[in-house]
Structure 1
């Protein structure tokens, strides 16, 4: 007992105060239960501050060229004064401009948001009339709607606005936790004022004069404060309209009312877009929650409220509401799946332990650390104000097989001391003490490897989620260490009886075979090193054959993007989509279609058809076949193309690579893009190479002003453009309060003017110069303009203040490195004019960054483990020997990927880093036992054989239990944000299998050589 280590404080405390220990166990169970019940449940963890903003500015009825000139370029100039911007990507579309602003990592996004809002206010002063409505969007997982549904409406009632607002929107918004309800695909009623051209001419008026007169109506203005008879009164000037008749009675001139020269009506205009569900027009509702609310509970309350509305309101009762999204149900399904996987992994781990120990009580003691560790971790998360989400349960799924490792080592040591004749108390004290340092070291090495995991994504969203996964794993492992040192020795003291017989024959046989094999390895170190080197070489070759790329999980949601040519009319696009919808719905049951949501804006050339499938059951068509058939169902038309995008909580598109070309001239860029397209199309590796449809030119009517004639009449280009724009686009007047409903009021040209350019050009303008005898005061717009036809882009892309065009490339090849090599080679063959350049897209940059981050994280993990072991062992030699077990684990990981034909992606990189911390645990336990015998003066070979005998069973048991806990993950098809995580389990399992095998054989051989080398240096020094 002279060499017995002094027991840790926790070991002494547990053994000496068992009642206190029992109370502590009850407190842990109680706190864990309370935490589980009270912690908010979300799909994804909150708190991520994304380093980007999206800004959208509207310019109604403007072409992309106008939007670029009047909105996007001035906006880019103002953004040049904002600090911390890394990249600006803007797009000018018909009617609006959008800007994606990416900031430097680590920047204070609240300050950035305030700067952008300030620049947006400055921009409004520079915008043309009619433009200026804008919004800024900040990313947050809570920004997505938690529930959405559609109400198919075949008949539009006059009071539909009031019904929706009072009976649906307000009812749902009154629920606790609901922040707002958005209503889509529904045109509210509007008051439209349309002047008659012939009547305006008869009264000698122009549309511009009428518009100016109407803008001065329907106001309530604060006029100041009046003091009278010692009292103070606020004065307001009341010019508000109270009825439609008030509008009709507006005096335009003495004796001339608005009703005399214009029509005033309330209408519900037809929508300028397509928004259908299962081929039918519908109104869409999206429900959003407040940030701190429990998503599952709110979704349940919203569903109950909707059911109540359906029972009360005949209009809702007579139609079927179609639910497109229920995040509460998604969370329950995702978490239930992870719970089942974690539970199954735990049961597999417990079964493996029982197979080894063949004793119910000992298995129960080892397995008790699973609930104890996870409950303690959950309690800590509760006090850290964290939520229960898929990352939390994924972390527990990873940890469930690892938390028993410490208890296995301690229980095995205590059991061995019992068999050596020690009483229960002494055996518990001695056994726990001899391995206390080893399990502390191994636990801390596993914990520290999670520190660099955040480097795998920099400061990105995936990095944030990886950190959120690492924290519960670390807490569970630390809790496992605490429970192993505090609870397990005392449980063994009171519950574990001494075995009546020796180990089972099978167990003794395995240990005996290992002893013989280890003795042979120690006698033949050259053979061991040669075999180990051969394994590493084979793994290197296999690793090179493993493709490196990205993977997406095919779930129950996908989207078909349909790109139309610019010459295709809106009605033709509508007919095309209806043909596709009818073909898909014809085999609705066979294709497992639950909902089909079709979206198309009139001003855009891209339509989206979003599919939600029923979950796959036995005998049904798999999702991959459904998608293949759906591709064939898209009608074939000249100039129409399509692609697929996955919608499992990701924006990833089938266009797996996006090239961007930059330069000052759009036509030149389009020519270069066509050259790139021709060079890449012949390669079999690419299934589609296409210039983005938004870059294709469309026809537009251009009104050229004859400046000399306009000047003689005292008219400027702005007068002409303003008159035409006001007529075609319309001018919005102040809102009208109609029975509590805020109704938009618009004055615009007559329908004939807006649909026939020849009619619009007959619009009269008022000359601003004195007319000669016989000349009229008014002139027709046609007399001072000229109509021509030109080309415009469907959308204009700009990046960092340069015009850009994108090329979408599809490929089924998983090895993306070879694909990028082909693209780079072909791009270098093109002569690029000065000021023109290209890049391979954000995915290429992200892949390059991920590779560097993975290598950095791996090296940092190695360094941290080495330093920690050096501090705890007070040695440089021993940590070096332990670290050499890592290459074999990595080799095993690559072999597993090769055998299972799995792509090396980001989750594989996470698995490699986790391996560093997991595989050294076995080596640490072995080395610690060797040191124990060496300190007693036993020869190194004898020490190695004795350590092998003592540590064979716990090493194999811990590795097997960890592997068993990860089997459900490796065999599952789950995904987070569209990224499957099975590869993480595959890598760790493969690394543990090979790493454990070589740890038991190569490590003793290596230690034998290192100790001999040390002894030779010591002898020389003496």
Structure 2
């Protein structure tokens, strides 16, 4: 095949054009742009809403019953739930390999079959958890009242999805619509009505109902009633009661009709003005950039139609980040490619260097052609993978081209065609197996589980196709171009050729004058040399253990926004929460002014705050709030301050706030969970409280640990109703009393109507002024079965208690999580978690029913390390097998693989030089390094074997192999490193967590060059010494036996 393609350059060029064309088609039509790929979550969620239900009611009446119904399904790995006020959410995590749709159907079947759920609970919402891919937010703000703001925001939400390419949007930060029919108790008594009577009247009168079809001679006619009420004018004329004298009581006669909003408090502000947020999403293969451009065109058309007091701003536009970051990484890519080209031109002929570099776009286009089939998009991760492989992809082409050039130079009578064919064939086996070992090194990336799996897989599914297409290009396309080589006497005499000749001659002089004499001395003292490398290895790893280079599971990656999440004590009035949020806002505004530059740019941009953050059932929480501000990217401002420093200053300037339960700050992206997350499980609530307190106290003793919080927080003050003996005398039960009280306080849902895209409740309830005090509850009139009314205080009493704000279950046991953040520059999370685990194991011996586990980042780290250990062993065996096959030896693969641990020294040193901690991405880089560093050793050992077979003595073969392969080894290593150099110094936010992997590869391969050229030859001779010694020993034993 090699000879045929080399002779038939037309076939080779057609293959090249086909690959490039396929890649271009894929790039322009099939590959969407996004920042990060969509992370598939193998999770099913079940959500149930029950109005006015307490967390304990949701736990006992909903969550526990659903958990019991589905717990024995075989594909469930973890079953957890959260029961809060009015809503319970059950989360079903599936085992790897399970069919989510099949499990979803089984879960739906079992939950739908439940007959024990509360009758007033809404139908369970069961679905596969999908993460919406948000493109941007539209902030509608201005000097408007709530109704005007809501109308504008909803209009924008409805109109934006009509634009080409925009298919999904929703709205947040404002209260849902609600039609409230307020009827006082006195009015109800006056007309001898109940809330049920009013609700049933509305249900009977305000309906759209089909009555069948009338078949007349002229055709079929559909018959239906159409009197559904949608607004104030419709509702006011609904008949509630007809009297015997012929008079009629309309809804407007007895109720105050308010077409407004739900009572739960939700307020949003943008730079101090009332605001609402319209979220725009992308679906399927829609392009982030196309959607953003279309939305911006829509805004240009919309703004002239808006009132002058309304402003629509774009917040968190992913397309801006995509374009900026992809542009930055593309710059790194072409800068790396140019550096590779220059480097190759220094050591190879410019023509050869050109054809070697041509292999880069060909291989890249091949990978782009197959990326849609592998479900890979153009994103930060896939583009990083292209940069990562930029210098690696030419390794096989360099070895092939350098060998063809050497063959042509050393065989004066050989033609260019012969040199191209024979030179390629000579290294075909080691080059092929070298690429396969590199491919094997990236296979563990595809075997990882957990939240980080998507990151690893995106990289692997780009690198592997690139390498395979590179192998095809170097075997079938490159030789067809190298056959046109000219001898030095035939080359044009120009400055470039003369310069390249001097570099090439200088390199040969260095090899003969310095390298080979040094190698000869190392070979003669090979055992001393090996001991020196072993000592270096031990020193490097002892320095890692002593903290010379720190390990963090996931490095701190600064975000382009900062967030403060506030939770006040449960039951805190909205006015108190609002005052706290205003204080946090003001601190952000002060920083905005402090870092304002002359051109109007500030490190702190716009400020967005929400008060009464929405919870599970769409209801607001009066004790919660959030403040976010945008951080100007470093390249767009002159003030040098990091997001972490901004957040720390923000935290200090706010100071302590009375009544705060938690106030968490964050300015990082990509976190897989809290660094400290301890989950305590058990059914003894009192014991759980004691253990949680002890764990919190223990965490407080560690320096560098802050924002300690737990999920065991008190809920609202509860009033527990108890019946008096008089209740039974008038026929009242606890259920009937509770139901009437709930209708009075929370209201009676008469209808639920669809108005445009909004789901609107129609609620009948007492006026707010009639349900705001305990005295009013005492005076409330209850209707007996006979139709009479009695005072609440006459038939019932009550006492106070306080329940939890939320109840968590894990695998049907109550669970509490204690979380904390750490300063990763001073605290090692792994060591801290280890010490905490030892302490907890001892402490919980006094609580036999309580157990614990580490969650968050620690769990992710444990899962990743487990996957890495298993896949790493498989990779080492696969590489051994791929080396043993071409060598036809069980021992020689160990010579090649002996370089692996020493390459890690370079990777660790690189982290120290660059000032980066070793992270999980660093470890994955070292895994990839395994496959890359063995390539040069493979080519070197293969050359030694060839020379031994040709009749050279073993020492001479090893000695000459180092000199003959010096250029190829040096070039493959240097091209890999220089291809990564632009990325190593990249300052963009999204690239920061990828840099540790580049450090491992770049510096690891550099150090491996030295090890390959010195240690591998020594190991080869030592292996022969061992084999010779074994043979001599066996020979002596055989003689003694005879």
TM value normalised by structure 2: 0.90
Matched, 1:666 2:692: no
Matched, 1:114 2:105: yes
For residues 845 and 329 of structure 1, what CA distance do their matches in structure 2 show?
A: 34
The DSSP-based 3-state class of the residue aligned with 1:402 is coil
1:584 to 585, 588, 591: 588
Other-structure match for 1:181: 169
Matched, 1:549 2:545: no
Other-structure match for 1:305: 298
Matched, 1:956 2:970: yes
Q: Name the stretch that deviates more: 702-711 or 995-1004.
A: 702-711
Matched, 1:888 2:908: no
1:600 to 607, 611, 615: 611
Q: Name the stretch that deviates more: 840-849 or 863-872.
A: 840-849
Matched, 1:762 2:776: no
2:479 to 484, 489, 498: 489
For residues 825 and 285 of structure 1, what CA distance do their matches in structure 2 show?
A: 48
Other-structure match for 1:625: 645
The DSSP-based 3-state class of the residue aligned with 2:276 is strand
Q: Name the stretch that deviates more: 178-187 or 132-141.
A: 132-141
2:423 to 431, 436, 452: 431
For residues 296 and 494 of structure 1, what CA distance do their matches in structure 2 show?
A: 45
Matched, 1:51 2:42: yes
Residues 318-368 of structure 1 show CA distances to partners (whole Å, capped at 9, x for unaligned) of: 5332212222222222322221222222222222223333x4223222222
For residues 801 and 81 of structure 1, what CA distance do their matches in structure 2 show?
A: 11
2:737 to 698, 704, 720: 720
8 Å CA contact retained: 1:57, 1:134: yes
For residues 544 and 1004 of structure 1, what CA distance do their matches in structure 2 show?
A: 30
Other-structure match for 2:520: 519
Other-structure match for 1:529: 530
Q: Closer, same or farther in 2 for the Cα pair 1:233/1:179, shift >3 Å? A: same
TM-superposed deviation, 1:934: 0.9
Q: Closer, same or farther in 2 for the Cα pair 1:809/1:347, shift >3 Å? A: same
Q: Name the stretch that deviates more: 580-589 or 472-481.
A: 580-589
8 Å CA contact retained: 2:830, 2:858: no
For residues 129 and 716 of structure 2, what CA distance do their matches in structure 1 show?
A: 36
1:689 to 700, 704, 708: 708
Residues 637-696 of structure 1 show CA distances to partners (whole Å, capped at 9, x for unaligned) of: 24426554546654656x521222222243432232112222332232433434x2x523
Q: Closer, same or farther in 2 for the Cα pair 1:113/1:303, shift >3 Å? A: farther
- Which runs of 5 or more structure 1 residues have no equivalent in the other structure? 1-8, 770-775
Other-structure match for 2:725: 708
Q: Closer, same or farther in 2 for the Cα pair 1:630/1:561, shift >3 Å? A: same
TM-superposed deviation, 1:449: 1.7
8 Å CA contact retained: 1:565, 1:640: yes
Other-structure match for 2:180: 192
8 Å CA contact retained: 2:337, 2:979: yes
TM-superposed deviation, 1:208: 4.3
Q: Closer, same or farther in 2 for the Cα pair 1:46/1:140, shift >3 Å? A: farther
The DSSP-based 3-state class of the residue aligned with 1:724 is helix
TM-superposed deviation, 1:831: 5.2
Q: Name the stretch that deviates more: 755-764 or 260-269.
A: 260-269
Residues 835-864 of structure 1 show CA distances to partners (whole Å, capped at 9, x for unaligned) of: 222222243232222222222222222111
2:935 to 921, 932, 940: 921
For residues 154 and 234 of structure 1, what CA distance do their matches in structure 2 show?
A: 49
For residues 848 and 614 of structure 1, what CA distance do their matches in structure 2 show?
A: 36
Other-structure match for 1:443: 435
The DSSP-based 3-state class of the residue aligned with 1:609 is strand
The DSSP-based 3-state class of the residue aligned with 1:903 is coil
TM-superposed deviation, 1:378: 1.6
Matched, 1:871 2:885: yes
The DSSP-based 3-state class of the residue aligned with 2:965 is helix
The DSSP-based 3-state class of the residue aligned with 2:404 is helix
Other-structure match for 1:5: none
Matched, 1:291 2:310: no
Residues 410-443 of structure 1 show CA distances to partners (whole Å, capped at 9, x for unaligned) of: 2211222222213322222222221111211111
TM-superposed deviation, 1:714: 1.1
Q: Closer, same or farther in 2 for the Cα pair 1:133/1:469, shift >3 Å? A: same
Other-structure match for 1:772: none
Q: Closer, same or farther in 2 for the Cα pair 1:792/1:543, shift >3 Å? A: same
Other-structure match for 2:806: 795
Matched, 1:365 2:366: no
Matched, 1:947 2:961: yes
For residues 158 and 718 of structure 2, what CA distance do their matches in structure 1 show?
A: 45
Other-structure match for 2:627: 609
Other-structure match for 1:219: 207
Q: Closer, same or farther in 2 for the Cα pair 1:594/1:130, shift >3 Å? A: farther
Other-structure match for 1:4: none
For residues 539 and 339 of structure 2, what CA distance do their matches in structure 1 show?
A: 31
Q: Closer, same or farther in 2 for the Cα pair 1:563/1:738, shift >3 Å? A: closer
Q: Name the stretch that deviates more: 518-527 or 665-674.
A: 665-674
Residues 878-936 of structure 1 show CA distances to partners (whole Å, capped at 9, x for unaligned) of: 21211111121123223333444533322112111101100000101101111111111
Matched, 1:244 2:233: yes
The DSSP-based 3-state class of the residue aligned with 2:542 is helix
Mapping for residues 36-75 of structure 1, pairs under 5 Å: 36-43=27-34, 49-75=40-66
Q: Closer, same or farther in 2 for the Cα pair 1:468/1:268, shift >3 Å? A: closer
Other-structure match for 1:128: 118
Residues 25-78 of structure 1 show CA distances to partners (whole Å, capped at 9, x for unaligned) of: 333333333332223223267675422123322223333233223322222222
TM-superposed deviation, 1:164: 4.8
Other-structure match for 1:3: none
1:903 to 901, 905, 917: 917
8 Å CA contact retained: 2:715, 2:802: yes
Mapping for residues 633-672 of structure 1, pairs under 5 Å: 633-640=653-660, 642-644=662-664, 646=666, 650=670, 655-672=674-691
Residues 240-290 of structure 1 show CA distances to partners (whole Å, capped at 9, x for unaligned) of: 347636544413252451444333343346661232222322111011222
TM-superposed deviation, 1:188: 5.4
The number of equivalent residue pairs is: 995
For residues 853 and 968 of structure 1, what CA distance do their matches in structure 2 show?
A: 31
1:981 to 994, 1011, 1027: 994
Residues 92-142 of structure 1 show CA distances to partners (whole Å, capped at 9, x for unaligned) of: 22222222221111111111222333344345x54435431554453445x
Q: Closer, same or farther in 2 for the Cα pair 1:337/1:406, shift >3 Å? A: same
For residues 643 and 652 of structure 1, what CA distance do their matches in structure 2 show?
A: 20
TM-superposed deviation, 1:594: 2.0
For residues 364 and 857 of structure 2, what CA distance do their matches in structure 1 show?
A: 37
TM value normalised by structure 1: 0.91
8 Å CA contact retained: 2:133, 2:283: no
For residues 502 and 768 of structure 1, what CA distance do their matches in structure 2 show?
A: 109
Q: Closer, same or farther in 2 for the Cα pair 1:641/1:764, shift >3 Å? A: closer
The DSSP-based 3-state class of the residue aligned with 1:702 is strand
Other-structure match for 1:773: none
2:579 to 575, 581, 594: 575
TM-superposed deviation, 1:829: 3.3
For residues 742 and 306 of structure 2, what CA distance do their matches in structure 1 show?
A: 45
Matched, 1:105 2:96: yes
2:792 to 781, 802, 819: 781
